Amino acid sequence: MSPTGNHKRSLKQILVGFIERIRENPTIAAITAEGFLTRLGFGMVGFAVPLFALKLGMSLSEVGVLYALQSVTVLIVKPLMAWAADRFGSKPALVFAVTMRCLVGLLFVFVTLPWHLYTIRILQGIMTAARDPSANALIAGHGNKKSMATAFAWYLTARDVGHSLGAAAAGLLIAATDNYQLVFAIAFITSCIAIITVLRYVNEVPGKSIEQANEEEAAAAALPPVPALSFREAYVPLLPYFGFGLMVAITAQMMRGIFPIIAVQYGHLTVAEAGIAASASSIAILGAGPAFAWLSDNIHRSVALIARSIANGVSSLMYIYWPSFAGFVTGCILDDTGKAAFRPTWGAILAELASAHPVRRARIITFLDMSSTMGEIIGPLLAGFIMSAFSIPLMLGLRVALSIGTEVYAVVLFRGKGRG
């Protein structure tokens, strides 16, 4: 048999194995597809909104407030949505979130005033608050415990690639047409395709619902009751992890929504070049997410956990000292590679910590994941204020300092904690 024949057969075996895994666990595959489709649409929106806000006359600090407003809404609403996912099921919560995302995407087409953007960002926050707990709980419930980081990796990689491709499409469309409504309309259509995927292929988390647990408790009323954990007992041990997630998120989210502005105003890139720079990381993300997830599942978690803070710091230095198209492409690739490396392992840690409380799975995951939401609030506000009051290089320098602090905290927190 020739080497070519063996090669073809191995590729065929890989493809067959991949299809079999999808058939065995269609929910993970469907959520991954949904993540790609919706992020493709909202990657376009995310790139266009800050530039569109400047066109409407908003300042840099107001753009920071615009992004923080969504995160404040998420922070307020997410605990309620996590309870609803545990109470009524994760799939209905996800269907609601994806449907709402489609409707919110349509509203962007009709924006003509700054207050319209503020209102839509609040609605987008409600949608995100409904989506994250249900999606995370579904992956945690359906994923294999021995390869949980890998399950999160494929999902998050699909989201990141969709977001990057959406940014490139938006940059090219804006440069060619200067028509933001066209960008928003295409994003709306793309996001709505995901509804069919969720309805058809996503299954509910296996296990007991709250109603079933209550029925079993009633049937076993003659037995001595098992006292429920108090808030202090359930959540206080999780605070060190919450703090780590917050530190990582603040550092990373300082670039949230303002990368196109920095690229155009500080790097002197065109809008099209900024879009290409924002999407150039797609190839790196495809490899980084699964690769670091494998390291996390099989070697050591800390390798993936500390990668993001290193990437945040080094990329910021690149933006400062290499303000060109090549510099911003390289910096963005590094930034997004760190993100792709960190998030699957973070998701696996959340799933592991929540596995001891399956009835409260969505709420435990949400409590820890709210550290990221708080970072999404603090990061853009902090970055917008420093850029408006001082300068873009000073903001990026602060990001480097915060990255170093996060690195030190990670070493202390995860010392002695090895394989996942």
Q: Which amino acid is at 270?
A: T
SS3 (DSSP) at 322: coil
Token readout for 16 is: 């067959």
Can you tell me the distance from the alpha carbon of 82 to that of 131, in angstroms, rounded to the nearest whole number? 9
Q: Which of 56-70, 261-275, 307-321, 358-372 has the lowest mean pLDDT?
A: 358-372
For residue 54, is pLDDT > 80? yes
The pTM for the full model equals: 0.60
Question: Which position has the token pair 């969505």?
Answer: 362
145 band by pLDDT with thresholds 50, 70 and 90: low
Report the alpha-carbon distance of residue 115 to residue 121 in Å, rounded. Answer: 10
Percentage of the chain beyond pLDDT 90 is 0
Q: In a 3-state reduction of DSSP, which class is residue 17?
A: helix
Please report the pLDDT score of residue 297 as a whole number: 67
- Given this model, what pLDDT does residue 147 score? 61
Handedness of CA 351, 412, 417, 21 (dihedral sign): positive
**357 Rama class: left (phi>0) / alpha (psi -120 to 50) / beta:** beta
* Residue 329 identity (one-letter amino acid): V
Domain ranges of the chain: 22-203+232-413
Write down the H helix ranges in 143-258.
Answer: 148-177, 180-201, 210-219, 231-235, 239-253
CA terminus-to-terminus distance, the chain: 41
Higher pLDDT, 197 or 23: 197
CB–CB of 382/250 below 8 Å?
A: yes
- Return the pLDDT at 371: 83
DSSP assignment of 325-385:
HHHHHHHHHHHHHHHHHHHHHHHHHHHHHHTT-GGGHHHHHHHHHHHHHHHHHHHHHHHHH
Higher-pLDDT residue of 231, 365: 365
Fold of 22-203+232-413: Growth Hormone; Chain: A; (1.20.1250)
Most confident of the following: 146-155, 213-222, 395-404: 395-404
Helix, strand, coil shares of the chain as percentages rounded to 5? 85, 0, 15
